[in-house]
Structure 1
């Protein structure tokens, strides 16, 4: 009889142990309000920066500004109408650039940055996304001034001790050479 009781207890424990794990319920629920607030804040920042850039463009009616598909504006200082080669994926480009605020005050000079070598869309080089996109619009020997909103420039982080957060910039880029890869 005692033996049967042990068997019943063991069988009951086996069935109880086969129960699957239960999901834990969250202690508190977030409604996603932080993301919504962040989106609203970022839209306001972009609208403010776009207004600043538009004001600069309206103040210079002699300059032919072009809006890029990537969300920035630019104009040619030196345009090459003969060359047709644009940098493509994997091409190695050599260029100079500077960083200025929208008033034209130099933040980082071309000499401080030096000559840059960049493999288009391949290197993990710390270039702002605006420059990575802008270089693809340039031909060898051209010089373009780009007006970048902060999200295409240094954004939330800025440049330590030089540029604050969410500050739009302008950058003049001179494309020195394009070395095409064998795939292109």
Structure 2
């Protein structure tokens, strides 16, 4: 009997020394939500870019440039004398308006007023930030921004709704370079 108990005790000890096995997940994630979201966003971007390209095609009086940041712009007043453009930390003084792509005003220049902005150190929408970096003092340009370069999914929680592409005309009045001591 003692041998049977000893044998049983040895057997239990051997089983108890087995390393634990990881549990398998109860729910498997197929990734379909992510794929559907990516496809929706691709379709949205394509639709907005087609709208913008249609506007550009119809506006034969202006020459539009495609930026590497995913928006288009045209100059109304160009400064060919200066070479100074705004960079990180420079302060710029400017005026701008915001409208829908068809030109319906959302915010007028009078409502917004003259703005001061320190490049890449303050919070403005991405398209405005990148557009100001392309401009020289005294220039006026119109930018066509897809929603992902404007106010995106959330809008501005006021007059600009979800995924609204916008048109904005900016006049860069002054660039005050950052002084590094």
Q: TM-score, normalised by structure 1?
A: 0.83
> Which residue is 1:100 aligned to?
99
Paired with 2:26 and 2:166, the residues of 1 have a C-alpha distance of 44
Partner residue of 1:166 out of 159, 163, 172: 163
Partner residue of 1:138 out of 115, 135, 138: 135
> Which residue is 1:50 aligned to?
49
* Cα distance change, pair 19–132 in 1 and its aligned pair in 2 (3 A): farther
- Write the mapping of 1:1-184 to structure 2, written as runs, cut at 5 A: 25-123=24-122, 125=123, 127-183=124-180
* Cα distance change, pair 91–22 in 1 and its aligned pair in 2 (3 A): farther
Q: Shift of residue 164 of structure 1?
A: 2.1
Q: Shift of residue 24 of structure 1?
A: 5.2
Q: Shift of residue 27 of structure 1?
A: 2.7
Q: Shift of residue 20 of structure 1?
A: 8.8
Size of the aligned set, in residue pairs, is 171
Paired with 1:128 and 1:103, the residues of 2 have a C-alpha distance of 20
**Where do 5+ consecutive residues of structure 1 fail to align?**
1-11
Q: TM-score, normalised by structure 2?
A: 0.85
**Where do 5+ consecutive residues of structure 2 fail to align?**
1-11
Q: CA RMSD in A?
A: 2.3
Query: Secondary structure in 2 aligned to 1:95?
Result: strand
Q: Shift of residue 33 of structure 1?
A: 1.4
